[in-house]
Amino acid sequence: MTDTAYMLVVIAAVALATFATRALPFIFFSRREPPQLLSTIEKNLPPMILLLLVIYCLKDVQWLEPPYGVPEIFTIAVVSALHIWRRNAMLSIFAGTGLYMLLVQLIF
Amino acid sequence: MTHESEKLLFSAFKTTLPVLFGYIPLGMAFGLLLAGAGYHWIYALVMSIFIYTGAGQFIAVALLAAGAQLMEFITVTLLINLRHSFYGLSLLDKFSGVGKVKPYLMFALTDETYALLTTTTVPEGASKARFYFYISALDHLYWIAGSVLGAVLGSMLRLNLEGLTFVLAALFVVLTIEQYYASRARFPFVAAISAGVLSLLLFSPDNMLLLSIVIGTFILIMYERTIKGKNSEPSSSDSAPREELL
């Protein structure tokens, strides 16, 4: 498969998967009540997946070699503190990203 | 366009202003990331038109860079966007009777649009379908504009992008904190840390996301079963304080 064809197949698959998650409740629960087990898992799955995604972002960090994951842990601490303080998602995300870029480009 | 619909469009535009300021830079970050990975800006346009999911598109770039299999793209996308299914559950009533725009409203249901649709009241005498459509379509346009702008800038300028991918980690940290504020539940985070650390130790970095989600979901189900079992015991008069501890 060429690179272009591969990209288009990937985009189509991701687009369909995304639409499926958004359309599912309208398809299945338009005429009946959602089951109880689903609603209890529903509450707990998103926070779990999001924290797993944070951990996933640290998967390539070499903890036993310099700089021992210091830029990553420090930036995450700053983003968390900033977000708990101001609750401004854009400020937390972009200030944190800027800080991390400065750290890895200029200091470490 | 009639005067009435112009007024309604302007009202929708005012409603979506915070999303405009959020989606332009976040879309740009996605575009820059995609351009930085060596992809033409046209892919940013196509992805933002047809996929349209913030975290999902960022993860797609990461998976592309990692050379993931098609099934991994599909599974990870389904799992990451599963939360959108639960948005729909609370909009079943609101979206009934909106007519032919319903498929588009379903497609365009991002976190931010969901937040707007559930918190904004339709102006007096206006069409609900049209107002919801304007909000959804404006948000979608901001996202498309931001990502194309970022991708074009990223391919023109020789920027030092080292560290930009951390925007992903920052986004997920922020969303995790927001999830905590929304539910106050602690166990999902215990499950995530257990499953995440276990997967980092046991599996290769490329496989850890999928496997950690599977392990974490298993932990969650086992936990729910245990709590359910306790609560359904006949002598469960003392189960109320126990529930509060969760």
This complex has an ipTM of: 0.81
**B78: closest CA of chain A, how far (Å):** 6
* A12, A79, A101: residue with CB nearest B163: A101
CB contact, 8 Å: B225 with chain A?
no
Q: Which residue has 């599977």 as its token pair?
A: B214
B217 touches chain A (CB under 8 A): yes
Pick the range with the lowest mean pLDDT from A20-29, A79-88, B145-154.
A20-29
The sign one gets for the Cα dihedral A41, A43, A46, A49 is: negative
Q: Do B174 and A83 touch (CB under 8 A)?
A: yes
Q: Compare CB distances from B82 to A45, A100, A101 and report the shortest one's residue.
A: A45
Distances (CA, A) of B67 to A58, B63, B72, B128, B207: 18, 6, 10, 44, 12
pLDDT of residue B2: 83
Q: How far is B173 from chain A (nearest CA, A)?
A: 6
Identify the closest residue of chain B to A38 by CA–CA distance: B86
| Collapsed DSSP state (helix, strand, coil) of residue B102 | helix
Mean pLDDT of A77-84: 96
Amino acid letter, residue B150: G
For residue B170, give the nearest of A19, A37, A93 by CB distance. A93
Residues 6+ apart with CB under 8 A from B37: B61, B64, B65
User: Higher model confidence: residue A74 or residue B165?
Assistant: A74
| Chain A residue with minimum CA distance to B70 | A10
- pLDDT by residue (tens digit) across B177-222? 988 887 788 999 999 999 999 999 998 886 787 788 789 888 988 8
Burial of B119 from C-beta contacts in 10 A (0-12 / 13-18 / 19+): exposed
Q: From B243, B244, B219, B218, select the one nearest B232 (Cα to Cα).
A: B243
- A 10 A CB-CB count for B211 gives 15
Q: What percent of chain A has pLDDT over 90?
A: 52
Q: Is the pTM of this model over 0.90?
A: no
Predicted confidence band of residue A104 (pLDDT cuts 50, 70, 90):
very high
Contact A89 B178 (CB under 8 A): yes
Tell me which of A55-69, B88-102, B137-151, B223-237 is least confident.
B223-237
Q: Is B206 exposed, middle or buried (0-12, 13-18, 19+ CB in 10 A)?
A: middle
Distance between CA B227 and CA B243 in Å, rounded?
9
pLDDT at B236: 39
pLDDT at B179: 81
Picking from B81, B170, B209, the nearest residue to A56 by CB comes out as: B209
The reply to whether omega before A67 is within 30° of 0 (cis) is yes
